[in-house]
Amino acid sequence: MAGLSTDPGRRVVVTGCGAISSIGIGVSEFSAALRAGRSNVRPMTQFSTEGFAHGNGCEVADFAPARWIRRTDLDELGRATQFSTAAARLAVEDAGMDQTALEDGRCLISIGTTDGESHDLDRLVAQEIAGGPTAMEPALAKRVAASRLSTAIARELGLGDVETATIATACSAGNYAIGNGFDAIRLGDADFALCGGADAVCRKTFTLFYRLRSIAADCCRPFDKNRTGILTGEGAGVLMLESLDSALARGARIYSEILGYGLSCDAHHPVAPHQPGLTRCMDLALRNAGVKPSEVDLISAHGTGTKANDQIETAAIRDLYGANLPRIVSMKSMLGHSMGAASSLAAIGCAMAITEGFIPPTINHIETDPECAIDCVPNESVPADLRIVQNNGWAFGGNNAVVILGRYDETRTAS
């Protein structure tokens, strides 16, 4: 689509990050864990995996929401909404934005998700099986609407002048939400945006991936010859996006700039990725950012660790980039697949990689698959001077979304 990169508009920067993940809560802990190549794989506890041959996952252990959720009755929020709300609080605190500034500005809150509160739906089904439909618990039924992942944040933070929209585009939804915030700020619809993704592990999705033979028995090893699939994970990543002018005016620390993003739809298969759609999405994102493939220093891959994804994603990147590939890592090797949170947690990882000068590793890596002949930065992070990073997200429904992040450079002019 021509003309995208000439779109005038405000520059948009990341000034706060809130991460709730299986390897750390809060951006410092999260970033340190990425740099250390940590993971926290353990048997699932949120639902019973009895009868499955294996049941490892990447849950957020010992999550204590009351630390961040202070104004809302926790029983009114499902686990995914608790994640999104806590992550938003963390992002606001990390951005150092005070309550007056928050309330005075016009805000967009957009949270992406795969499952919303499907964990509660699972419980309602169990109650129906046990006692018929009248036995379903009203408190659970009240919190299943996906919209609540976003509105709960506004309520908790006391923000009235806000547009709230949950984006339910499955596993790329975090990138979609970041894109929504980027456009809202560029068009002047919002002064700042709390954007990202959230999901909680649930039986439905674990079973679904298990049935598709896409759950790894032990751990997730993207791009490895012997990879066997994903581990289901959970958490939330919320980014505070604001216009550069606003960030400069209040002297905010700038992690990185959002340079652009791209969306495409495969229109090919409901659950399998399709190479042309992925290539087109990356191409659109780079054009929107005004960036050439040769300028990209790192790709944060969707990198689920399934046979199909990693091979098709590698081919799609090669198709666009040719022979000179940048390093390509999968943070899912550490985080598991946190579904709607995945691309937003990865975006936070990209912002931290740019800020702190390192490349997060692809852990659990033993032997690179010849069909994925890339430098995936196996097992140990490396120091790196990163200027431009590409963050990939693909999803069921052929919903592709790629975000391009850049180091904030005051001399750069808006694309």
Positions marked active-site:
171, 302, 337
In one letter, which amino acid is 56? N
Structure tokens at 342: 């995945």
Least distance (Å) between residue 104 CB and another protein? 14
Out of 80, 184, 363, 403, point to the residue binding another protein (CB under 8 A).
184
Handedness of CA 185, 189, 194, 199 (dihedral sign): negative
Out of 21, 39, 82, 151, point to the residue binding another protein (CB under 8 A).
151
Note whether 89 binds another protein by CB under 8 A: no
Note whether 158 binds another protein by CB under 8 A: yes
Q: Which residue has the tokens 């490396």?
A: 382
Phi, psi dihedral angles at 124 (to 5 degrees): -65, -35
Note whether 147 binds another protein by CB under 8 A: yes
Question: Which segment (24-32, 107-115, 239-247, 367-375) binds another protein by CB under 8 A?
Answer: 107-115
- Contact pattern for another protein over residues 338 through 377, marking x by CB under 8 A: ----------------------------------------
Q: Angle at CA 404, nearest 5°, toward 261 and 371?
A: 100
Question: Which segment (56-64, 169-177, 229-237, 369-377) binds another protein by CB under 8 A?
Answer: 169-177
Note whether 154 binds another protein by CB under 8 A: yes
Complex with another protein: residue 214 or 314, whichever CB lies closer: 214
Out of 10, 250, 356, 397, point to the residue binding another protein (CB under 8 A).
397
Q: Tell me the CA distances in angstroms from 95 to 111, 280, 355, one per residue in order.
A: 18, 34, 14
Complex with another protein: residue 106 or 253, whichever CB lies closer: 106
Question: Which segment (87-95, 157-165, 227-235, 328-336) binds another protein by CB under 8 A?
Answer: 157-165
Complex with another protein: residue 141 or 366, whichever CB lies closer: 141
Complex with another protein: residue 115 or 224, whichever CB lies closer: 115
Out of 64, 70, 211, 411, point to the residue binding another protein (CB under 8 A).
211
Within 10 Å of residue 411's Cβ, how many Cβ atoms? 4
Note whether 217 binds another protein by CB under 8 A: no
Handedness of CA 389, 329, 92, 385 (dihedral sign): negative
Cβ burial, residue 237 (10 Å; 0-12/13-18/19+):
buried
Note whether 186 binds another protein by CB under 8 A: yes
Question: Which segment (90-98, 209-217, 322-330, 380-388) binds another protein by CB under 8 A?
Answer: 209-217
Binding residues among 264-303 for another protein as defined by CB under 8 A: 264-271, 277, 280, 284, 288
Least distance (Å) between residue 404 CB and another protein? 14
From CA 343, how far away is CA 335, in angstroms rounded? Answer: 11
Note whether 263 binds another protein by CB under 8 A: yes
From CA 81, how far away is CA 67, in angstroms rounded? Answer: 15
Q: Angle at CA 261, nearest 5°, toward 223 and 80?
A: 70
Note whether 133 binds another protein by CB under 8 A: yes
Q: What is the DSSP string of 249-294?
A: HTT----EEEEEEEEEE--S-SSS--HHHHHHHHHHHHHHHT--GG
3-state SS assignment for residue 310:
helix
From CA 68, how far away is CA 150, in angstroms rounded? Answer: 16
The DSSP letter of residue 98 is -
From CA 176, how far away is CA 312, in angstroms rounded? Answer: 21
Note whether 8 binds another protein by CB under 8 A: no
Question: Which segment (36-44, 178-186, 231-239, 289-297) binds another protein by CB under 8 A?
Answer: 178-186
Note whether 168 binds another protein by CB under 8 A: yes
Note whether 101 binds another protein by CB under 8 A: no
Answer for the pair 312, 284: CB distance below 8 angstroms, yes or no. no
Question: Which segment (125-133, 223-231, 237-245, 345-353) binds another protein by CB under 8 A?
Answer: 125-133
Least distance (Å) between residue 62 CB and another protein? 26
